[in-house]
Amino acid sequence: MKNYRENLVGVFGDPVDENPTGAIEQAGFDYLGLPFRFLTIKVKEGDLEDAVKGMRAMNFSGIGVTMPHKQTIMQYLDEVSKDASIIGAVNTVYWKEGKLFGENVDGKGFMMSLKDNNINPYGKKIVVLGAGGAASAIAVELALAGAKHITIVNIEETQGERLVKSINDNTESEAEFNLWKGTYTIPEGTDIFINATSIGFVDGTQCPDVDYNSYGKDTVVCDVIPNKTTTLFLDKAKEKGCKTINGLSMLVNQGTLCFELWTGEKAPLEVMTNAVKREFNITD
Domains of the chain: 7-104+254-279 (3.40.50.10860), 107-245 (3.40.50.720)
Contact call for residues 195 and 233 (beta carbons, < 8 A): yes
> Which is it for strands 192-195 and 220-223: parallel, antiparallel or unpaired?
parallel
pLDDT at 192: 98
Reply yes or no on whether the pLDDT at 203 is more than 90: no
Q: Is the bond into 15 cis (omega within 30 degrees of 0)?
A: yes
% of the chain surpassing 90 pLDDT: 86
Confidence of residue 40 (pLDDT cuts 50, 70, 90): very high
Q: Is 2 a catalytic residue?
A: no
The answer on pLDDT for 28 being more than 90 is yes
When pLDDT is cut at 50, 70 and 90, the band that residue 171 belongs to is very high
> Could you report the per-residue pLDDT of 124-163, keeping only the tens digit for each?
999 999 998 899 999 999 999 999 999 999 999 999 999 9
pTM of the model: 0.91
Residue 161 and residue 137 in contact, taking contact as beta carbons nearer than 8 Å: no
Model pLDDT, residue 228: 84
- Tens digits of residue pLDDT in 98-111: 999 999 999 999 99
- For the chain, what is the mean pLDDT? 94
Mean pLDDT of 197-213: 89
Strands 149-154 vs 125-129: parallel, antiparallel or unpaired: parallel
3-state class of 8 per DSSP? strand
User: Which among 70, 125, 228, 236 is annotated as catalytic?
Assistant: 70
For the chain, where are the E strands, in sequence order? 7-13, 36-42, 62-65, 79-80, 92-96, 99-103, 125-129, 149-154, 174-179, 192-195, 220-223, 243-245
d(CA 221, CA 266): 29
